[in-house]
Chains A and B, each alone.
Chain A
């Protein structure tokens, strides 16, 4: 079955700097790659997604890139702000959505 690896597990960046979270997946049949953000005490919330026929997608300060050949995809957050502090999960999907283990992002003042 699908396996999703996510790195790093913890990331601290200075406010205003960029943050990058990387994921790899194992099943070449995966065709949908969402990213979720989980704030304390809440369930994960979708922030951006990308499908396998697209290489890059951007939404304001957030962008996701996909390299199907290497089975890599990444989340890029620019101009980080305190409210970006949260746990971020990548995921890959064929017939079910499988998540990585998460990255705890700290935005330092």
Chain B
């Protein structure tokens, strides 16, 4: 079974630009979560999508947005990039139960390393 696939692996952007990151979950997984990883802050929760709906959201500004498609693939968008947005962005999928309870095992991709210059 293929794992979680994130593209691209590396990105270099300049301040003010916008960026879109892509995540393909494990086949059959309907929940996709996004995390930002920085050396000082660890893994910070951005948002979670389940069945094309955002179920949970972390404490990030509105410049960070996402969506999920009917095939469970997800994209994350960051607009008006700032230097502080430089980070590893990780996507994780999970096989959420029918009740939608969010305590299932997360399977992470290798991440997209974003550098903002």
B56 neighbours in A (Cβ, 8 Å): 95-96
- A31: B residues at CB distance < 8 A: 103
Judged by a CB distance under 8 angstroms, whether B43 is at the interface is yes
User: B102–A44 contact, CB under 8 A?
Assistant: no
Please, how many angstroms separate the alpha-carbon atoms of A97 and B92 in the complex? Answer: 11
Q: Interface residue count for A (Cβ, 8 Å)?
A: 25
The answer for the CA separation of A43 and B110 in the assembled complex, in Å, is: 4
Tell me which residues across on chain A come within 8 A of B106, comparing CB atoms.
34, 36, 44, 46, 97
Whether A96 pairs with B45 at a CB distance below 8 angstroms is yes
Residue from A32, A46, A94, A99 in contact with B43 in the complex, judged by beta carbons closer than 8 Å? A99
Our pick among B40, B41, B92, B105 for the contact of A43 (Cβ within 8 Å) is B92
B90: Cβ under 8 A from any A Cβ: yes
Using CB atoms, name the residue of chain A closest to B41. A101
Q: Does A41 contact B42, Cβ atoms closer than 8 Å?
A: no
B-facing mask of A1-45, CB < 8 A → 1, else 0? Answer: 100001000000000000000000000000110101000011111
Q: A42-B110, A43-B4, A89-B42 are in contact. Are A99 and B105 (CB under 8 A)?
A: no
Contact B42 A93 (CB under 8 A): no
CB nearest to A31 among chain B residues: B103
Q: For the complex, what is the distance from the CA of A46 to the CA of B105, rounded to whole Å?
A: 7
Q: Are A44 and B43 in contact (CB under 8 A)?
A: yes
Closest to A4 in B: B42
List A residues at the B interface (Cβ < 8 Å). 1, 6, 31-32, 34, 36, 41-46, 49, 51, 89, 93-102
